[in-house]
Amino acid sequence: MLKDYKIIIIFSVSFGILYVVRVLIIEFLKKLAKKTTTKLDDVIYKAIKLPSLLWIVIISVHVTLTFLDIPEKHYHLLTKMINTLLILSITIFLAHLSTKALKVYLEEKSLPTAGASLIFILINTIIYTVGVLIILSNLNISITPIITTLGVGGLAVGLALKDTLSNIFSGLYILLEKRINIGDLIELENGRRGYVVNINWRTTTLKTLTNDTVIIPNEKLAQSIVLNYAKPVNITKISIEIPVSYNTDIDKLEKVVLDEVEKYSKEDDRLLLDPKPAFRFIPGFGDSSLNFTLYVSVSDYESGFAVQSELRKRIFKRLKAENIEIPYPQLDVHLKRQ
What confidence score (pLDDT) does residue 159 get? 61
Kindly report the three-state secondary structure assignment for every residue of the chain.
CHHHHHHHHHHHHHHHHHHHHHHHHHHHHHHHHHHCCCCHHHHHHHHHHHHHHHHHHHHHHHHHHHCCCCCHHHHHHHHHHHHHHHHHHHHHHHHHHHHHHHHHHHHHCCCCCCCCHHHHHHHHHHHHHHHHHHHHHHCCCCCHHHHHHHHHHHHHHHHHCHHHHHHHHHHHHHHHHCCCCCCCEEEECCCCEEEEEEECCCEEEEEECCCCEEEEEHHHHHHCCEEECCCCCCCEEEEEEEEECCCCCHHHHHHHHHHHHHHHHHHCCCEECCCCCEEEEEEEECCCCEEEEEEEEECCCCHHHHHHHHHHHHHHHHHHHCCCCCCCCCCCCCCCCC
Does 218 share its domain with 264? no
- Non-local CB neighbours of 195 within 8 Å, separated by 6+ positions: 183, 184, 185, 186, 206, 207
Does 179 share its domain with 264? no
**What's the Cα-to-Cα distance from 266 to each of 213, 260, 261, 271, 273, rounded to whole Å?**
35, 10, 9, 8, 10
Q: Which of 84, 114, 139 finishes a domain? A: 139
Does 41 share its domain with 70? yes
List the CATH number of the domain containing 311. 3.30.70.100
Whether 329 is in a domain gets the answer: no
Does 15 share its domain with 132? yes
Whether 23 is in a domain gets the answer: yes
What confidence score (pLDDT) does residue 293 get? 93
Q: Which of 165, 195, 228 finishes a domain? A: 228
CA distance 151 to 141: 18
Q: Are strands 203-208 and 213-217 parallel, antiparallel or unpaired?
A: antiparallel
Q: What is the pTM of this model?
A: 0.53
Whether 309 is in a domain gets the answer: yes
Does 69 share its domain with 126? yes
Does 132 share its domain with 201? no
Identify the segments of the chain with pLDDT beneath 50: 1-2
Whether 153 is in a domain gets the answer: no
Radius of gyration of the chain (CA): 36
What confidence score (pLDDT) does residue 2 get? 44
Whether 158 is in a domain gets the answer: no
CA distance 248 to 244: 7
Does 197 share its domain with 246? no
Does 91 share its domain with 185? no
Angle between helical axes of 250-267 and 303-321 (0-180°, round to 10):
130
Nearest CA among 74, 58, 51 for reference residue 15: 58
What confidence score (pLDDT) does residue 153 get? 65
- The average confidence (pLDDT) of the chain is 81
Does 249 share its domain with 289? yes
∠ CA 48-61-75, nearest 5°, is 135
Scored b (16 or more CB within 10 A) or e, 60-94 reads bbbbbbeeeeeeeeeeeeeeeeebebbbebbbebb
Whether 144 is in a domain gets the answer: no
What confidence score (pLDDT) does residue 1 get? 47
Does 241 share its domain with 223? no
167-224 pLDDT per residue, tens? 777 777 777 777 888 888 888 888 888 888 888 777 888 888 888 888 888 888 888 8
Give the residue numbers spanning the domain of 16: 2-139
List the CATH number of the domain containing 199. 2.30.30.60
- Non-local CB neighbours of 31 within 8 Å, separated by 6+ positions: none
> Could you tell me how many residues make up the chain?
338
Whether 105 is in a domain gets the answer: yes
Does 18 share its domain with 85? yes
Does 103 share its domain with 222? no
Whether 331 is in a domain gets the answer: no
Our count of domains for the chain comes to 3
127-176 pLDDT per residue, tens? 888 888 888 888 787 777 777 776 766 666 556 556 666 777 777 777 77
